[in-house]
Amino acid sequence: MSAISLNMRKKYAPLVPGFYHIPFPDKYRGMFEHSEPGTVEEYLAPLKEMFNKYVPADEVACIMIETIQGDGGLIEPVDGYFEALQALCRENGILLAVDDIQQGLGRTGTWSSVEHYNIEPDLISYGKSLAGGLPMSAVVGREEIMNTLDAPAHLFTTGANPVSCEAALATLQMIEDDDLLTASTEKGAYVRQRMANWEAQYDFIGDIRGRGLSIGIDIVSDRQAKTRDNDAALKICNYAFEHGVIIIAVAGNVLRFQPPLVITYEQLDTALDVLEEAFEKLTNGELDNYEISGQGW
């Protein structure tokens, strides 16, 4: 299903047919690298065109979205898009599903990132931190949907692995006991406060966005045109790595600031200090010939 990179599709064919992709309703850049974001109607237009010409809406099972598109560049949606999309789904009997694998479980400060929007999806998927690093994923859905599969339906040898299940229960308990949802919100606010002057200080910072501890820093070569500066982003990542801070770039030029929710304020300060050091060096031309291979997607 992913459309993030050719490398995730090359040499895998044949893929499951019947998936169509539409542009994410980017709040910062417009479709196809346009410098201005589109309106809700403009972003819905490719979907409506599809429904009018080559994909009958009543034959569509499901529309799947990420609330904040993670590896796509930590992209936030324009206000009102998800609500309009949900209305379109309801009108046409289409299920709305959210992939919350990256943004869920406290990453944005809430159990589900869906809580930031006025929508009620039919299905939500979870993964990643669910079992604190052990393999575990989950699909949460309305009962009548989940019960449409007769047992044994989705059956895997390693499904419901007892060690992973214990790890998941312990992780969920820890999020609750240590109030990691509040921690994510408060630490995110602290980080954003330290980042508050960056846009004024550094010309190459086009945008800083996100929620809780899910933050993207968009590195550009021209702030007006919002031109992605992949090389600069990679230089920053490599400088950070060599100074003890692991950060990667997604979508080529977006620094992905997503530390563990249990990170300490001292560790956050260290990471932010190193990033500021990298920004200073980039500004002074000290990273002109810096290594740019081996980071990011």
Nearer to ligand PLP, 44 or 101 (CB): 101
Q: Judged by CB, which is closer to ligand PLP: 66, or 76?
A: 66
Q: According to CB under 6 A, which residues from 46 to 75 bind ligand PLP?
A: 66, 70-71
137-166 residues in contact with ligand PLP (CB under 6 A) are: 137
Of 109, 171, 110, 99, whose CA–CA distance to 135 is shortest?
171
Considering the complex, state which of residue 127 and residue 141 has its C-beta at the smaller distance from ligand PLP.
127
Q: Select from 96-104, 154-162, 183-191, 265-273 the region that touches ligand PLP (CB under 6 A).
A: 96-104
Q: Is 296 in the site for ligand PLP (CB under 6 A)?
A: no
102 forms part of the interface with ligand PLP (CB under 6 A): yes
- Name residue 208's beta-bridge partners: 217
Which among 230, 207, 214, 209 is positioned nearest to 295, based on CA atoms? Answer: 230
Q: Decide: helix, strand or coil at residue 11.
A: coil
Stretch that binds ligand PLP, among 42-50, 97-105, 138-146, 212-220 (CB under 6 A): 97-105
Considering only 76, 99, 122, 207, the residue that binds ligand PLP (CB under 6 A) is 99
Residue closer to ligand PLP by CB (options 248, 292) is: 248
The helix (H) or strand (E) run that includes residue 281 is helix 265-283
- For residue 256, what are its two tokens? 């992905």
- Strands of the sheet with 123-126, listed across from one edge: 62-65, 95-99, 123-126, 138-141
Q: Smaller CB distance to ligand PLP: residue 65 or 287?
A: 65
**Residue of 22, 89, 101, 205 that binds ligand PLP (CB under 6 A):** 101
Burial category of 137 from C-beta neighbours within 10 Å (exposed 0-12, middle 13-18, buried 19 and up): middle
In angstroms, the CA 171 to CA 187 distance is 19
Measured from the CB atom, is 70 or 188 closer to ligand PLP?
A: 70
214 lies in the site for ligand PLP, by CB under 6 A:
no
Q: In the bound complex, what is the minimum distance in angstroms from residue 69's beta carbon to ligand PLP? A: 8
- What is the rounded distance in angstroms from the CA atom of residue 247 to the CA atom of residue 275? 10
Segment interacting with ligand PLP, rule: CB under 6 A, options 98-106, 159-167, 217-225, 230-238: 98-106
Would you give the binding string for ligand PLP spanning residues 109-138, x where CB under 6 A is met? ------------------x---------x-
207: helix, strand or coil: strand
β-bridge partners, 210: 215
The closest alpha carbon to 46, from 33, 58, 55, belongs to 55
| Measured distance CA(277)–CA(269) in Å, rounded | 12
Stretch (H or E) spanning 277: helix 265-283
Stretch that binds ligand PLP, among 99-107, 115-123, 146-154, 196-204 (CB under 6 A): 99-107
- Give contact residues for ligand PLP (rule: CB under 6 A): 66, 70-71, 99, 101-102, 127, 137
